[in-house]
Structure 1
């Protein structure tokens, strides 16, 4: 890992999401046009409200230098399994922070929470996210279609198994 990346990584902290964080997130600026379809996730009836009362759901805030830059959700879908969702503050996209935060979340999910599988859906028209998830070890498992804000939306289904994550992490440690 390059030294600059290591400094950025240590500056990002995951912590439990608070009610104050949720209020702040709802007031984040809109995403740029390229990500306009994702903006609903940040708003009053978005992901935070959707997953607020789900049992066995972990909601995290990501802070960089004391500043809220993202939120993450791991929502239990079966015993030992959770769905992963992440939303970066609009002005923080494209800076490599998604990779760092996703990696830290996988560490929490597979390490602290002891999940055996983490899965996600990603929009087919979001090649940067798809490439990121592939680089982190997620495997393509299929496709699905859902209505989002009354619009048909096409997604890829991806997952990462705990064994694969731990094996890749062990290999990465030996290369350092």
Structure 2
């Protein structure tokens, strides 16, 4: 895998010396500056790397539905955030990343707090760094406190040059 690091990756590297709990807090605050809504929803970045992103959300009043479970939109946000930030750790600084499609299927009622684990393989990371533009289906598993997956998600992220070619 390439060792090219973008600005997001370099920012995360600066937290490497912090204890795990403090590192998670610092990264959550930094990423919240990129996307302020993450703080509003109370998402927490538990694990951050170029190949794996773990994001969680507690089942609390701000993100609940009418039956006191995690709201469907909060579950989708969890998956979108985990997949988006793992892609964001790999897309070069001269590229713009965009969510191309999001499919969320709800199978059963979620139990308590939830966690999303998004992963990329070496081939996907390499494509992001080498191809001018493209897209990738990012694998994500969203589970609740019981360890079950009440939803299944398909998140496709695209990357394009920040500057359009003239002509």
Please classify the TM superposition score into its range, dividing by the shorter chain length.
Answer: 0.3 to 0.5
Q: TM-score, normalised by structure 2?
A: 0.32
Relative contact order: is structure 1 or structure 2 higher (C-alpha 8 Å, sep ≥ 6)?
Answer: 2
Q: TM-score, normalised by structure 1?
A: 0.31
Bigger proportion of residues as helix = 1
Bigger proportion of residues as strand = 1
